[in-house]
Amino acid sequence: MAANPEKTFKFVVVGGGIAGVTCAEQLASQFPSADVALLTAAPLIKAVCNFKQVSKTLEEFDVEERPSSVLEEKYPNLRVIQSAVKALHAQQHTVDGLEIHYEKLCICSGGRPKLLTQDNPYVLGIRDTDSAQEFQKRLSKAKRIVVVGNGGIALELVYEVEGCEVIWVVKDKAIGNTFFDAGAAQFLIPSLDTDKPERAATCKRARYTIEGPAATQGLAVGSALGPDWHEGISLRGAEEVSHRVSVEYQSEVKQIYTHQDFLLSVLLIYLFNHCTVFPYYIGSWPVYAQLTNGKTFGCDFIVSATGVVPNTEPFLHGNSFALAEDSGLKVDDHMMTTEPDIYAAGDVCTAGWEPSHLWQQMRLWTQARQMGWYAGRCMAADVLSETIELDFCFELFSHITKFFNYKVVLLGKFNGQGLGLNQELLVRCTKGHEYVKVVLSGGRMLGAVLIGETDLEETFENLILNQMDLTPYGEELLNPNIDIEDYFD
Ligand code: FAD
C-alpha cells in the first residue's frame, strides 16, 4: 500500500451515530498509540452520556449531539473527518476518493427512512435533526396530517402532536404492533384522548445546531434521532385543540393525489356516475391519501414513519457483501461482514448468527451502542489474535423506553415472537396505572411487557435468565398482593 502516511489508519470507522462513535471510542482507548479515524457525513456526532446499568441487561443512557472536536480532545489518536463516503474498495482496503487506507474497517452508517414514495414534497420522513425541524416548521401551519406507520416513531408522534388533527394509518389490528400486543394497545389508547401532562420547561439534553450549508452538505445523512427527539421542539399545529387522533386500523396508503389530481379523479367519478350533486365534502387540501379501506383523507402533509432501510449503497459497488433479507450487511457473531477486515454495527447491519432464544435484533438505540462497543472489542481481539465470546448483552433482548408518557420495559420474547401457539400469557392491568404481561412457554418465562412503574423488571429479568420452572406458582405470579421481589429473593 503506497499510501500517504497521514491517510493510513489502523482502524477506520464510518458513521458518527451511536454505533460508530461507541466503536471508535472503544478502539481509540484500547489502542492509544494506534491511528483511528472516524469518517462521518454529518458535522455533529452522537455521544452516550449518563450511562446507567439498570439491571443485568437493561441499560439507560442519555445521548448528546456534540461537535466532533470533543472526541478528538478526549482521544488524541482519534481523527474525526467530516466526509460522506461514496465508495469502498474492499480488496485494496481503501475508502473513497479521499484515498484513506485502513487495516480494519467498521461500517456504522445507520439507516434512512423507508418513505412511502420518493420525491413527493408532501411526504415527509423523520430521521435526523434536519428532518425533525422541517416537520416542526410544516406542522406549525397544519390543520390535519396523516401519519402512516406503527413503530416507535409513529407512536411518539401521534402522542406528542397537539393543535392539529392526526389521522393515524396502521396496517395492523392494534397500535404499536412492533412493541406490544392488542391488550397493551388498549391500555394506552385512552391517553390519546386526554391532555398531555405539563413538561418540565428545560431540556436536560445539550443540543448543538450548525447553521448554513456546511450543516449537511445537502445530504440527508444525519444521525438517527432517538428517545426524546421531540424534547425541546414544539410539536404544535395551527389549531386550538390538544389531542385529536383518529386511528384507521388495518389500512395502508394505496394512492397519494395532489390537489389537482384528486379533483380530476372526483370529477371523472362524478361524470361517469351521472351524479347531480358535486361531492363538496372532500374539502380543499394540498394532498390526499387514499387508503386501502376505501377512505380518502385530505391533509396538509403525510408523515411516512414506516421504518428504515439500512444505508448500504456507498459500500456495495464492486464488493461482494452478503446482504440479509432486510438489505442489511450480514454480520457473524464477531460483527464481521463477508468482506475481509470489514465489520459493521448498528442499524446498517443484520445479525446473521444463530441468536439466543431470548434475543432478537431491533433497530434501537441500545442495540446500536451494544453492537458498536462489541464490534470495537472484536476488531481489537482480531488484531491481538485473542479469542472473544459473543457478549452477554445478546443473551436477552431488553429495552426501556417511554410511550404515551408511561415507562415501558420489554424483555425477551415480549410479544411471543416465534412461539406460535406454544405460549401462555398472564396479564395484570389497572387502567391508567399499569399493564403487566408475561409470556410463558412450558412453565418457563420467556418474555414480559411492563408498562407503568411496576418495579418488576429486575425480578422478571432474573426469572427469564434462570429459566426456573414457574408452573407451581400459576397465576399467583401476577398477584398484586404478593411482593414477588421478596418471594424470589
Ligand atoms: P445513525 O444514528 O443513523 O448514524 C449513522 C451515521 O452514519 C450518521 O452519523 C451519518 O451521518 C453517518 N453516515 C451515513 N452515511 C454515511 C456515509 N456514506 N459516509 C459517512 N458517514 C455516513 N431507538 C430507541 O432505542 N428508542 C427510541 O425511542 C427511538 N426513537 C427514534 C426516533 C426517531 C425519530 C428515529 C429516526 C429513530 C429512533 N430510534 C429509537 C432508533 C435509533 O435512533 C437508531 O436505532 C440508532 O440511532 C441507530 O444508530 P446508528 O449509529 O446505527 O445509526
Distance between CA atoms of 399 and 401, rounded to whole angstroms? 7
Q: Which atom of ligand 1 is nearest to the CA of 345?
A: 52
Atom of ligand 1 nearest to the CA of 372: 51
Q: State the distance from the centre of ligand 1 to the C-alpha of 378, rounded, in angstroms.
A: 22
How far, rounded to the nearest angstrom, does the alpha carbon of residue 473 sit from its chain's CA centroid? Answer: 37
Which residue's CA is the closest to the ligand 1 atom numbered 31? 226
Mean pLDDT by 10 residues, the chain (489 residues): 62 97 97 96 89 90 89 96 94 85 97 88 87 90 94 88 93 86 88 68 38 41 65 73 86 92 76 59 84 93 92 96 97 98 98 96 94 98 96 95 92 91 90 93 95 94 94 86 72
Give yes or no for a contact between 369 and 18, defined as CB atoms under 8 angstroms apart. Answer: yes
- Ligand 1 centroid distance, CA of 486 (Å): 40
For atom 43 of ligand 1, which residue has the closest CA? 226
Q: Kindly state the cell numbers that stand for 315.
A: 459500500
pTM: 0.88
Of ligand 1's listed atoms, the one at least distance from the Cα of 127 is 36
What would the grid cell of residue 394 be? 445478546
- Ligand 1 atom closest to Cα of residue 109: 7
* pLDDT of amino acid 418: 86
Question: 323 in helix, strand or coil?
Answer: strand
Q: What is the pLDDT of residues 266-304, one digit of tens each?
A: 777 766 766 555 554 567 899 999 999 989 999 999 999
Instruction: Classify residue 258 as exposed, middle or buried by CB count within 10 Å of its CB (0-12, 13-18, 19+).
Output: middle
Residue list, ligand 1 pocket, CB within 6 Å: 14-20, 39-42, 84-85, 108-111, 126-127, 152-153, 221-227, 229, 311, 314, 346-347, 363-366, 368, 401
**How far apart are alpha carbons 59 and 50 in whole angstroms?**
10
Tens of pLDDT, residue by residue over 67-95, are 999 999 999 999 999 999 999 999 999 99
Whole-number Å distance between alpha carbons of 254 and 46: 37
ipTM of this complex prediction, to 2 decimal places: 0.97
